[in-house]
Amino acid sequence: MSYCPSISPGWQDFLPGISSIADGRRTSYARSPQAVSSINSQFDGSLPLPFSSLWSVVPTTGESPSSRSGQTVIYWPEENSIISCYGRNPDDTFSKAFWKFSIHDQKWEKLPIKKVKPRAACGSAIIGNKLRFFGGITSSQFVSDLHYIDLDTCECVYPVTTGESPPACALPLVAYYHPYLIVWGGTSGTNLSNFHRLNVVENHWERINTEFVGRQGACGAIIGSSLFIFGASSPMSILELDLTSFTFSLVPTTGIEPPHGLECLTTVAVGSTCMAFETIGLTSKTKLYVFDTDRYNWMCYSVPLSDESDKECTPKLIFYLPYDRKLVALCEGDGTSSNPLTELNIGRSIATLNQRLDLLSML
């Protein structure tokens, strides 16, 4: 899964006069007028804090990518690196630059990728050493080309496919579950409900019928054989996509779920839980919502920023590093020329959460 960060919260018009598209895959509408006004009050209802550490700035060296809206950011586990690419520049031009950040070396490196077309708001998924893209938007149109980058050779490939491919769109939900690349929703001026899967071995597209209305810019996480989808341009809470039957179901949830009027949400899978982060309304904390997929229950926590992190940026795009048991976040600061990184050690916190879930299992 990938995320499209924004330079500033709210809406940006990627195609002036044609359509207004949410700049990011984490923005959603409130279910009712009261939902937005009660966002700040929900911060007072969080559970006792199990997180003993703070978000702290990761020191980096060398040149780094500049801030862009609608860029694609994705974690590459094989190389323990973060890839940042595409997006719209502050001068309204579109970027085709690719950058890699090594977690081990704490250094950015610009990748010599060729044959790519500038765009923003793509959907993407990483499969081994291949970063696959679908959709996006340029200065004049929505795009539907499927392509992938071989991250070892820096080669760009546009594979020839058969079957019915998805329509041109921006902000589709894209995920991978062997052997299928899944593409759902997105927007081409209005929300799309098209649901397609690509067999990456045979390069064959197949359209799957569904009655669920698509969302533009949804976020999600795969746990087991299910893709749990949250938020974006729909007032519904959690959708569960069974990746064996490819059927959707609406999940009734309990607990303190994230407000539907939120901005700046990303989701990661940790064990049997989805962790969703958002930062609306606070400058010294981030809110963490933990979704227990066994009980369909939301829990809410506050995670402070260190003084240094608070001055530098607000953590928004989160990646989980299972071997280090920490979260790494790409930050977004108002007026910053680059994207700083912060990290949060959560090893002890995960143990606390697991203990709480074990106690619930005994009840």
The radius of gyration of the chain's CA atoms, rounded to the nearest angstrom, is 19
Q: Is residue 42 part of a domain?
A: no
Q: What pLDDT score does 6 carry? A: 35
Pick the more confident residue, 106 or 196: 196
> Does residue 90 contact residue 67 with C-beta atoms inside 8 Å?
yes
The mean pLDDT value for 307-312 works out to 51
Q: What percentage of the chain has pLDDT greater than the value 90?
A: 33
| Residue-level pLDDT at 157 | 97
What is the pLDDT, as a whole number, of residue 12? 40
Tell me how many domains the chain contains: 1
How far apart are alpha carbons 229 and 218 in whole angstroms? 7
| Token duo for residue 292 | 């227990």
Half-sphere exposure of 320 (CA within 13 A, CB side): 18
Residue 86: per-residue pLDDT: 93
Closest CA to 131 of 199, 215, 73: 73
pLDDT at 349 > cutoff 50: yes
Q: How far is the C-alpha of 13 from the C-alpha of 1, rounded, in Å? A: 24
- 2 in any annotated domain: no
72: domain range?
47-362
Stretch among 33-37, 222-226, 331-335 having the lowest mean pLDDT = 33-37
Which is it for the CA torsion 259, 260, 262, 265, positive or negative?
Answer: positive
pLDDT at 41: 39
pLDDT tens-digit map of 154-200: 999 999 999 999 999 998 989 999 999 999 988 888 888 899 999 99
Minimal CA–CA distance to 85: which of 56, 142, 126? 126
Question: Residue 338: pLDDT band by 50, 70, 90 thresholds?
Answer: low
- Flag whether 258 is in a domain: yes
335: left (phi over 0), alpha (psi -120 to 50) or beta: left
Residue 14 lies in a domain: no
| DSSP bridge pairs for 66 | 338
Structure tokens at 264: 């700046």
Of 213, 327, 194, 199, the closest CA to residue 267 belongs to 327
Is position 250 within any domain?
yes
Specify if 157 maps to a domain. yes
Residue with tokens 């793509």: 122
Mean pLDDT for 32-47 is 38
- Residues 201-230 pLDDT 10s: 999 999 999 888 777 777 789 999 999 988
Residues 174 and 181 sit within 8 Å (Cβ to Cβ) = yes
Residue 186: count other Cβ atoms within 10 Å of its Cβ. Answer: 33
Residue 215 has a CB neighbour count (10 Å cut-off) of 28
Cis before residue 179, ω within 30 degrees of 0? yes
How far apart (Å, rounded) are the C-alpha atoms in residues 124 and 181?
Answer: 9
Lowest mean pLDDT among 13-27, 57-71, 293-307, 328-342: 13-27
Question: 355 pLDDT exceeds 70?
Answer: yes
Could you tell me what percent of the chain has a pLDDT over 70? 68
Burial of 362 (0-12, 13-18, 19+ CB in 10 A): exposed
Q: Considering the domain boundaries, does residue 253 fall inside one?
A: yes
> Residue 94 is part of a domain; what is its CATH number?
2.120.10.80
Whether the model clears a pTM of 0.85, i.e. scores above it, the answer is no
Of the listed ranges 14-18, 223-227, 238-242, the least confidently predicted one is 14-18
Among 136-145, 179-188, 261-270, 346-355, the least confident range: 261-270
pLDDT of residue 93: 93
In a domain, residue 337? The reply is: yes
